[in-house]
Structure 1
Amino acid sequence: MKSIITALLFCLAASLAYAQSPCDKIKYLDKLAMAPSELPVQDFKLFDYNQIPDSVKARLQSEVIKETSAAFFKELKVKTVKYLDSTINAALFTPVVITDKDENPVDFVYAIFYEMQFKGNIPFVFKVEIKQNGELLRPAQFEGIVNQKKKIIPCAKALSIAATDKEAPITKPGDMYIYYNQTFRTIVWQIMEADNITGDSHHVTVIDVFTGDILERNEFLKGMTNFDNE
């Protein structure tokens, strides 16, 4: 009887540990806990994709297919839409100057977050920034996204790499993200150290999803953990 109870407790503990794994609640670019450097998407406001004019959607579709392919566009699913206009920008602590590919100033930008899947049914979200008329804000936004044939390192492997890092190991993983990193021009796993009582910063490890190389070890202040404006 005692052995049966012990076995049940072990199974319960194992299932709880699995349920609490960061790999069960991976977050994506639209909820990224570190601001992408190119535009302050954390300050964009949510927008209903259905409210975007059909003419703008058509222009966007044409632009995306031109950069990728019709097959690629067909597989995309809109996850989130945000926008930044001159009113929102002016209210920011540090307003940004937005220009298009021709260096012309732009007062309104949509950020459309598309969801797709890589091999192994791994969900992935990336961002496309467009002007109010549906034109791409700048070319080459699909660099590193299209035609990825390499096998992606699974979440559990990334956690193992971060935990065994001799320089700055992640001893207690918290939030886990997968996104395209503009700085390193590759898709990355970003693993954050879980919150603790002491200290005023979080440790972050950034890992290339294709090679397993640690690209960055970083610290940032607590409180900067949710850039979603819902």
Structure 2
Amino acid sequence: MKPFLNTLLFCLSIGFSQAQSPCDKIKYLDKLAMAPSELPVQDFKVFDYNQVPDSVKARLQSEIIKETSAAFFKELKVKTVKYLDSAINSTLFTPVVILDNDNNPVDFVYAIFYEMKFKGEIPFVFKLEVKQNGELLKKGQFEGIVNQKKKIIPCVKALSIAATDKEAPITKPGEIYIYYNQTYKTIVWQIMEAGNTTGDSQHVTVINVFDGEILERNEFLKGMQEFDNDLR
């Protein structure tokens, strides 16, 4: 009887620890993940996808299928839509110049956030920047995203890699993000250090989701972590 109780207690403790795992609260996008060259989507206005004209949706569907496949498009789910027009842009502290693939100026752009799933039912959200008529603002926005046949390392494996890093281990994981990294042209796990309570910075480890390679070890200034949690 005693071995059975010990086993039961062990299983319950494992279940409880898993329930408290940072991997239970993965976040998809954050402003710090975006390179300076990207558009400031945090300043875009939220828009109802149902209000997007059917002609724009049809053009966008055609563009996505042309860049990927019909099967890929079928698996996508719209999470959020935002837009930036010339009126909003003019109110920004630093207005941006928006250029399309041919370097022509554009005064209206949608940022459409799509959810997809990799093998293992791991969710992932990415954004597309789209012209007002439904044409992709830039080509190549699916680079590093479209191949769903690739199996990505799970969150718990990423935590293990970050914890055993000899150069700068994550001793106490905090927020965890999965997003497309523009610099490395791949999807990454970003693990924030929660145990750093001194100083003005917070350690971050960025890991390639496909092969587990540590791509960056960064220090982010505290107080700069304003995340787009409305996309969850």
TM-score under structure 1 length normalisation: 0.90
Residue number in structure 2 paired with 1:192: 192
1:96 Cα deviation (Å)? Answer: 1.5
1:7 Cα deviation (Å)? Answer: 7.7
Aligned to 1:34, the other structure's residue is in SS state helix
* Distance change >3 Å, CA 110–CA 6, structure 1 → 2: same
Map 1:36-185 onto structure 2 (within 5 A): 36-37=34-35, 38-185=38-185
Aligned to 1:162, the other structure's residue is in SS state helix
Question: Any conservation in 2 of the 1:35–1:41 contact (CA below 8 Å)?
Answer: no
Q: For 2:211, give the aligned amino acid.
A: T
Off by >4 Å, runs of 4+ in structure 1: 2-13
1:226 Cα deviation (Å)? Answer: 2.6
CA offsets 1:6-26 (integer angstroms, 9 cap, x no match): 888766654442222111111
Q: RMSD of the TM alignment (CA)?
A: 2.3
Q: Does 140-149 or 220-229 show the bigger shift? A: 220-229
* Distance change >3 Å, CA 149–CA 6, structure 1 → 2: closer
CA offsets 1:120-165 (integer angstroms, 9 cap, x no match): 1111111111011111001111111112422211111100000111
> Identity of paired residues, percent?
80
Aligned to 2:192, the other structure's residue is in SS state strand
Q: Does 83-92 or 169-178 show the bigger shift? A: 83-92
Question: Any conservation in 2 of the 1:46–1:229 contact (CA below 8 Å)?
Answer: no
CA distance in 2, matches of 1:130, 1:75: 19
Q: For 2:224, give the aligned amino acid.
A: M
Q: For 2:215, give the aligned amino acid.
A: L
CA offsets 1:92-140 (integer angstroms, 9 cap, x no match): 2222211001111111111111111111111111111101111100111
* Distance change >3 Å, CA 13–CA 94, structure 1 → 2: farther
1:28 Cα deviation (Å)? Answer: 0.7
CA distance in 1, matches of 2:64, 2:126: 13
Q: Does 217-226 or 105-114 show the bigger shift? A: 217-226
Instruction: Give aligned pairs, total.
Output: 228
Question: Any conservation in 2 of the 1:43–1:227 contact (CA below 8 Å)?
Answer: no
Structure 2 stretches of 5 or more lacking a match?
none
Structure 1 stretches of 5 or more lacking a match?
none
Q: Does 180-189 or 2-11 show the bigger shift? A: 2-11
